[in-house]
Amino acid sequence: MENETGDDALQVSWNTTYLHDELAISYTKPAQWLYFSSSSGELLTNEMDTITVKFSSVETDTGTYNANIRISSNDPDPGDNPYIVPAELVVTEPEPQYVCGDADGNDLVEISDVIWILNYVLASGPPPEPLESADVDCNGTVEISDAVYLVQYIFTGGPEPCADCP
């Protein structure tokens, strides 16, 4: 494989009979989410080593990522060379970093949250931080119905805050 001008290429083999009719060669980009503490080394007989493999979801979209870790060696058993270890990374949306219903930010859902919501809605008080923590009925806005929802939860055993949120 080479560029248009022929001055930059990938070499498959050198001075060998490797290439033959009906041979398919696949070039794949290494997984950008998989990192190794070492990519090569040598061991003496009966010696062992540990290679750390790290998975990273930095700059990845949500989804499932798969790769095969290929370990090549001089193992005489052809079934073990290369040795394939499947790797899978599942990236999901992070959980919210707040307690739903905790409008005053003290990590508890209590009557002070009802007061905070009413103060915000009726008296232009400070907004809950984050605002989503006070949208307990999941309708997309913080309003009096959220305060009523919390009163029912606290005093009459109504549904938990955000029980019906997606």
Q: For residue 117, give the CATH number of its domain.
A: 1.10.1330.10
Instruction: Tell me: do 59 and 138 sit in the same domain.
Output: no
Q: Mean of the pLDDT values across residues 101-107? A: 95
Instruction: Tell me: do 113 and 90 sit in the same domain.
Output: no
Instruction: Tell me: do 117 and 88 sit in the same domain.
Output: no
Instruction: Tell me: do 31 and 113 sit in the same domain.
Output: no
Instruction: Tell me: do 11 and 71 sit in the same domain.
Output: yes
**Can you give the pLDDT at residue 76?**
80
**For residue 49, how far is the Cα from the chain centroid?**
29
Domain boundary among 94, 120, 150: 94
Instruction: Tell me: do 85 and 103 sit in the same domain.
Output: no
Residue 104: which pLDDT band, with cuts at 50, 70 and 90? very high
Q: Which residues, including other chains, have CB under 8 Å from residue 63's CB and lie 6 or more apart?
A: 90, 91
- Give 87-147 as a DSSP string: EEEEE-PPPPSS-TT-TTSSS--SHHHHHHHHHHHHH--PPPSSGGGG-TT-SSS--HHHH
Q: How far apart are CA 36 and CA 51, in angstroms?
A: 7
Our count of domains for the chain comes to: 2
Q: How far apart are CA 30 and CA 25, in angstroms?
A: 15
Residue in the structure block whose two tokens are 């050198």:
14
Does residue 1 have a pLDDT over 80?
no
Identify whether the C-beta of residue 166 lies closer than 8 Å to the C-beta of residue 138.
Answer: yes
**Can you give the pLDDT at residue 55?**
94
Instruction: Tell me: do 115 and 152 sit in the same domain.
Output: yes
Which of the pair, 150 or 30, is modelled with greater confidence? 150
Residue 56: which pLDDT band, with cuts at 50, 70 and 90? very high
Q: How far apart are CA 53 and CA 34, in angstroms?
A: 7
Identify whether the C-beta of residue 117 lies closer than 8 Å to the C-beta of residue 146.
Answer: yes
Does residue 6 have a pLDDT over 90?
no
